[in-house]
Amino acid sequence: MKKKPKQEGLSAQAIKHWPKDDRPREKLLRSGEHTLSNAELLAILLRSGSRGQSALDLARNILVKFKGFRNMGHTDIRDWKGFKGLGPAKIAQIKAAVEIARRFIDEEKESKTAISSSKEVAELFMPRMRDLKKEIFQVLFLDSRNRVLDTAEMSEGTVTQVHPIIREIISRALQSFAASLVCVHNHPSGDCSPSKEDRNFTRELCRAGSIMQVRVLDHIIIGDNAFYSFADKGELGE
């Protein structure tokens, strides 16, 4: 007598074959996105898995490897190898979603009426900059009441050094009619201690800002969940 093929468990079936109440997309539309687990939210982006593996299974495997959404950003394509059923299109969707989340946080924080401390600036930039593999240099341009007028990425460097161009920073400040500015860059090593070059640059920028009547309020270095403020340390040279 021929044996019946073994029936696959629910997790191994394509989500479209699940009962409607168990499908992540239907659950989101019925009860709201806040009711979904991280794996269910990720499964909606993935849409499909592979043979013998649902999108939810794939999502769980991805979360196990990266230990959350934060580590999915700023990753190399090689970090995603080994996931069956995960091609460039799905990887791009995931990375785009993570970036959208970061920008949402930036917009929410930038909507504050005024910047009043180095901590506020660090909290604004840390979600985006703490995991970068290269140094980048961001500038926050403020009006006379320390309200945000504009932000700009002025330079991208190597993993050990960034080369912001002082003339371009001051020029951008004047174009934005900024009364002051705050510079922010990251150290991919996670150590936010300033280098000799960081200190030299800060002195030169303060000098140029003083000449052009654009006050440099701070230069902040972002590390791994830590930051260094030249203003807080009394190291802003005029």
31-38: long-range contacts, CB 8 A cutoff, minimum separation 24 = 38/63, 38/68, 38/69
Q: Which of 154, 180, 184 is nearest to 169 (CA)?
A: 154
Q: Which of 219, 118, 195, 201 is nearest to 164 (CA)?
A: 201
CATH number, domain containing residue 205? 3.40.140.10
Q: Which domain holds residue 173?
A: 115-229
Q: What is the pTM of this model?
A: 0.60
In a domain? residue 4: no
In a domain? residue 63: yes
Domain count, the chain: 2
**d(Cα 82, Cα 230) in Å, to the nearest integer?**
44
Asked whether residue 99 falls in the same domain as residue 132, the answer is no
Asked whether residue 225 falls in the same domain as residue 200, the answer is yes
pLDDT in tens, the chain (238 residues): 444 444 344 445 566 667 766 788 888 888 888 888 889 999 988 888 888 788 888 999 899 988 888 788 777 888 888 888 888 888 888 888 888 887 877 666 555 558 889 999 999 898 888 888 889 999 999 999 999 888 888 877 765 666 678 999 999 999 999 999 999 999 999 999 999 999 999 999 999 999 999 999 999 999 998 999 999 999 986 5
Asked whether residue 83 falls in the same domain as residue 157, the answer is no
Query: Residue 214 is encoded by which pair of tokens?
Result: 């654009």
Asked whether residue 218 falls in the same domain as residue 126, the answer is yes
Asked whether residue 77 falls in the same domain as residue 171, the answer is no
Asked whether residue 32 falls in the same domain as residue 61, the answer is yes
**d(Cα 230, Cα 238) in Å, to the nearest integer?**
12
Asked whether residue 45 falls in the same domain as residue 131, the answer is no
